[in-house]
Chain A
């Protein structure tokens, strides 16, 4: 299968007052087209930081230090990769919410309490579908204008159309120019001569100079009363929002759109969060424990919804959870993480039947089964403090089959079978084999 998103040895640190938290210790994951990919681990193992690194929304004091995050989004060339760590923030803004979307753990805090649902969903459209919205607004205005002609009002309407047109053109121009500059920058990346650097600086400056908005339009939008003309786009956005909610099977979409987050139930809030993420039909949806704080019944509904959506709208889902039951239910492939390291990656069935890494084994043992006779197994010890992580393999202090080498060296990635990789000294070092 084709790859869609791939990270290579990503290192992310948090610079806190207690010290540097080494949250990601060279994480490599790969999401392929058309699959649901799971990321499993205890809380604090770096799952969320991994996906936030992929979105490049690691918030201060965190920083992505090293590695590559590659996106394979080109429709023509399957192997053409874009390393987003080398791209500008402006480029990332065109990707986020558009090509990659994300839903979060706590829907209630993820929604802005003072903005209406309609605004919050509509913002996705405003950010990524503005030319389309403007075109529709212009069409509507034009139709309105053609229907009946009143001398003075028609002139004002014509002026509005010209304003919207200006805005649309500037925006399209902006997007085109950003694209071309980004492309040139990407071309320049390879050799580090001083001439190249100068060119790069110039391009960067040029990009920063680009304006998203026309000056005249800005004036009209800033000026009280005059800016009322801009409300013309609201019905268009409203229509889009209601359509989206209908598509997602939300009952009573008109009312929901008009309400505020606190008026909705937890399940409905999570659906709104999903709606925000899906507004622009992303290629990949990242779900960061979307069901953790929900009732079991609602949880099932949300999982159902994601599964159906995956079949119809989005091609891939990156699903984060600490719940192995959910993994078994929804994922195709899964990676187990521990303390900022990836332990093991495999197809779900394979992982459950033939776990290789001691941590995976322990994790599976600690899941209660229906016909359980003996006491539930636990993993001794606690998740290490990542300011001073254990040397070598980070799991070794809690590992039942730890060896001397585990304290010294970080285990390399070992391909046990096609599609099943593990990083553990048990399978690579001489010590274990002897």
Chain B
């Protein structure tokens, strides 16, 4: 009934067509391009790791092949010669890369077996902890951060801020030790390790059907609920340790980005529309506030890895973290190289997922 036609925004329609038509192709292209880039980065990472490892004298590196206690210098020389550790660095590097492509990552002294076997043994223990703690970290961080921003300068806000700054400042190892001292030492609950001795006998017996390696999941598959509980019981303290320390970062970021989002003009628009506080916080502010949180979660993952090394060392969980710590201390070169490459891959994949998620939440971002 009203006629205000005049300008037709030509660019509008064009934009829209572009968006709807090419979205899927774009995404696939993007992922492929990123994966190629990832290979490039991993190549660089392998170079860095390799050159760092070359600092170590050949005698030390060859030590992992030494089986007996008494080795004469001459024998040592022979071993170094045999494994080509005196060759020029590029040749050694090429040999190492060549072996990797054949699926041979070498022998790990700390795992007492091939690197791959060690990985299969240690990885599920870490994965279990990651799967339990990551959702908790994100949920608790986002929830408390939102709470703090919405109730700015109220007691809740002060509480979350204090919580965040303490979580940020506590040394991981100290918190872990204190938790262990209080719960295990004083109260006799939540022991270190990954499973009780009784449980260990069960899962190493031949009847045990090891499908995933995750203790809890395998327990469900095998129908042994006592093992599920046993595994979970040992997860509680390490997970708590990780959550306290890692969610502080998300909490702080969420709070400040939520505050920024709440100060934007579109919040005023929503208010003028007659929206209630709950709707505004939930729909208008939080989605915008999540954008920077998503971008930082890739970084959080790196922090989680460091936390994992220390947490597993303290709670004596035989996972990747503990393995890496021991490998680094004993200069178990093949294990270090493998794990660094593995974590580099994981890191790149996590960042790829983060970027895709980012584009999903923020329509302004196009993956190109």
Binding site for B on A (CB under 8 A): 55, 57, 59, 90, 92-98, 101-102, 104, 106, 109-116, 123-124, 127-128, 247-249, 251-252, 255-256, 258-260, 262-265, 267-268, 273, 276-277, 297-298, 301, 304-305, 308-309, 312-313
> Could you say which residues of chain B place their CB within 8 Å of the CB of A92?
274
In whole Å, how far is A22's beta carbon from the nearest beta carbon of chain B? 22
What are 14 A-B contacts defined by CB distance under 8 Å? A57-B268, A93-B275, A96-B273, A102-B272, A104-B269, A113-B364, A124-B274, A256-B12, A262-B364, A263-B15, A263-B19, A301-B7, A308-B2, A309-B2
Contact with B16, one of A109, A112, A123, A259 (Cβ below 8 angstroms)? A259
Determine whether the beta carbon of A128 is less than 8 Å from that of B268.
no
Q: Among B85-93, B98-106, B280-288, which stretch is in contact with chain A? A: B280-288
> Is B4 an interface residue, CB under 8 A from the partner?
yes
Q: When A113-B266, A114-B287, A264-B12 are in contact, do A312 and B273 touch as well, CB less than 8 Å? A: no
Q: Look across to chain A and name the residue whose beta carbon is closest to the beta carbon of B5.
A: A249
Determine whether the beta carbon of B11 is less than 8 Å from that of A301.
no
Q: How far is the CA of A109 from the CA of B270 in the complex (A)?
A: 12
Contact with B2, one of A90, A123, A260, A312 (Cβ below 8 angstroms)? A312
> Is B363 an interface residue, CB under 8 A from the partner?
yes
In whole Å, how far is B269's beta carbon from the nearest beta carbon of chain A? 5
> Is B70 an interface residue, CB under 8 A from the partner?
no
Q: How far is the CA of A104 from the CA of B269 in the complex (A)?
A: 8
Determine whether the beta carbon of B4 is less than 8 Å from that of A255.
no
> Is B362 an interface residue, CB under 8 A from the partner?
yes
In whole Å, how far is B88's beta carbon from the nearest beta carbon of chain A? 55
Q: How far is the CA of A92 from the CA of B264 in the complex (A)?
A: 21
Determine whether the beta carbon of B2 is less than 8 Å from that of A55.
no
In whole Å, how far is B348's beta carbon from the nearest beta carbon of chain A? 26
Q: How far is the CA of A190 from the CA of B269 in the complex (A)?
A: 34
Q: When A101-B272, A251-B5, A260-B363 are in contact, do A115 and B12 touch as well, CB less than 8 Å? A: no
Q: Look across to chain B and name the residue whose beta carbon is closest to the beta carbon of A249.
A: B4
Closest 8 CB pairs of A and B: A97-B274, A96-B274, A249-B4, A109-B265, A97-B273, A112-B266, A260-B363, A102-B272
Interface residues of B in 284-303 (CB under 8 A from A): 284, 287-288, 291
> Could you say which residues of chain A place their CB within 8 Å of the CB of B283?
115
Q: Which of B15, B263, B291, B361 has the most CB of A within 10 A?
A: B15
Q: Look across to chain A and name the residue whose beta carbon is closest to the beta carbon of B277.
A: A89
Interface of A is mostly: helix
Q: How far is the CA of A111 from the CA of B144 in the complex (A)?
A: 27
> Could you say which residues of chain B place their CB within 8 Å of the CB of A248?
2, 4
Determine whether the beta carbon of A276 is less than 8 Å from that of B266.
no
Contact with B265, one of A106, A115, A252, A277 (Cβ below 8 angstroms)? A106
Contact with B273, one of A109, A124, A260, A304 (Cβ below 8 angstroms)? A124
Determine whether the beta carbon of A259 is less than 8 Å from that of B15.
yes
> Is B3 an interface residue, CB under 8 A from the partner?
yes
> Is B55 an interface residue, CB under 8 A from the partner?
no
> Could you say which residues of chain A place their CB within 8 Å of the CB of B131?
none
Q: Look across to chain A and name the residue whose beta carbon is closest to the beta carbon of B272.
A: A102
Q: Look across to chain A and name the residue whose beta carbon is closest to the beta carbon of B288.
A: A114
Q: Look across to chain B and name the residue whose beta carbon is closest to the beta carbon of A305.
A: B4
> Could you say which residues of chain A place their CB within 8 Å of the CB of B94?
none
Q: How far is the CA of A88 from the CA of B316 in the complex (A)?
A: 58
Interface residues of B in 144-161 (CB under 8 A from A): none
Determine whether the beta carbon of B266 is less than 8 Å from that of A109.
yes
Determine whether the beta carbon of B16 is less than 8 Å from that of A263.
yes
Determine whether the beta carbon of A308 is less than 8 Å from that of B12.
no
Q: How far is the CA of A251 from the CA of B10 in the complex (A)?
A: 10
> Could you say which residues of chain A place their CB within 8 Å of the CB of B270?
112, 123
Q: How far is the CA of A252 from the CA of B40 in the complex (A)?
A: 45
In whole Å, how far is B72's beta carbon from the nearest beta carbon of chain A? 69
Q: How far is the CA of A405 from the CA of B275 in the complex (A)?
A: 47
> Could you say which residues of chain B place their CB within 8 Å of the CB of A102?
272
> Is B13 an interface residue, CB under 8 A from the partner?
yes
Determine whether the beta carbon of A110 is less than 8 Å from that of B364.
no
Determine whether the beta carbon of A111 is less than 8 Å from that of B266.
yes
> Could you say which residues of chain A place their CB within 8 Å of the CB of B263?
59
Q: Which of B8, B275, B361 has the most CB of A within 10 A?
A: B275
Q: How far is the CA of A179 from the CA of B287 in the complex (A)?
A: 33
> Is B276 an interface residue, CB under 8 A from the partner?
yes
> Is B9 an interface residue, CB under 8 A from the partner?
yes
In whole Å, how far is B265's beta carbon from the nearest beta carbon of chain A? 4
Interface residues of B in 336-368 (CB under 8 A from A): 361-364
Determine whether the beta carbon of B265 is less than 8 Å from that of A127.
no
> Could you say which residues of chain A place their CB within 8 Å of the CB of B6?
301
In whole Å, how far is A243's beta carbon from the nearest beta carbon of chain B? 11
> Is B47 an interface residue, CB under 8 A from the partner?
no
> Could you say which residues of chain B place their CB within 8 Å of the CB of A263?
12, 15-16, 19
> Could you say which residues of chain B place their CB within 8 Å of the CB of A258?
16
Determine whether the beta carbon of A112 is less than 8 Å from that of B269.
yes
Determine whether the beta carbon of A93 is less than 8 Å from that of B276.
yes
Q: How far is the CA of A92 from the CA of B273 in the complex (A)?
A: 10
> Could you say which residues of chain A place their CB within 8 Å of the CB of B364?
113-114, 260, 262
Q: How far is the CA of A323 from the CA of B319 in the complex (A)?
A: 70
Determine whether the beta carbon of B12 is less than 8 Å from that of A111.
no
Determine whether the beta carbon of B284 is less than 8 Å from that of A255.
no
Q: Look across to chain A and name the residue whose beta carbon is closest to the beta carbon of B287.
A: A114
> Is B187 an interface residue, CB under 8 A from the partner?
no
> Could you say which residues of chain B place their CB within 8 Å of the CB of A128?
274
> Could you say which residues of chain A place their CB within 8 Å of the CB of B198?
none
Determine whether the beta carbon of B2 is less than 8 Å from that of A249.
yes
Q: How far is the CA of A307 from the CA of B274 in the complex (A)?
A: 24
Q: How far is the CA of A1 from the CA of B266 in the complex (A)?
A: 35
> Is B271 an interface residue, CB under 8 A from the partner?
yes
Contact with B269, one of A110, A114, A256, A267 (Cβ below 8 angstroms)? A110
> Is B329 an interface residue, CB under 8 A from the partner?
no
> Could you say which residues of chain A place their CB within 8 Å of the CB of B74?
none
Determine whether the beta carbon of A298 is less than 8 Å from that of B4.
no
In whole Å, how far is A104's beta carbon from the nearest beta carbon of chain B? 6
Q: Which of B1, B270, B279, B287 has the most CB of A within 10 A?
A: B270
Q: Look across to chain A and name the residue whose beta carbon is closest to the beta carbon of B363.
A: A260
> Could you say which residues of chain A place their CB within 8 Å of the CB of B13?
252, 255
Contact with B275, one of A111, A127, A256 (Cβ below 8 angstroms)? A127
In whole Å, how far is A285's beta carbon from the nearest beta carbon of chain B? 11
Q: Look across to chain A and name the residue whose beta carbon is closest to the beta carbon of B284.
A: A112
Q: How far is the CA of A305 from the CA of B1 in the complex (A)?
A: 12
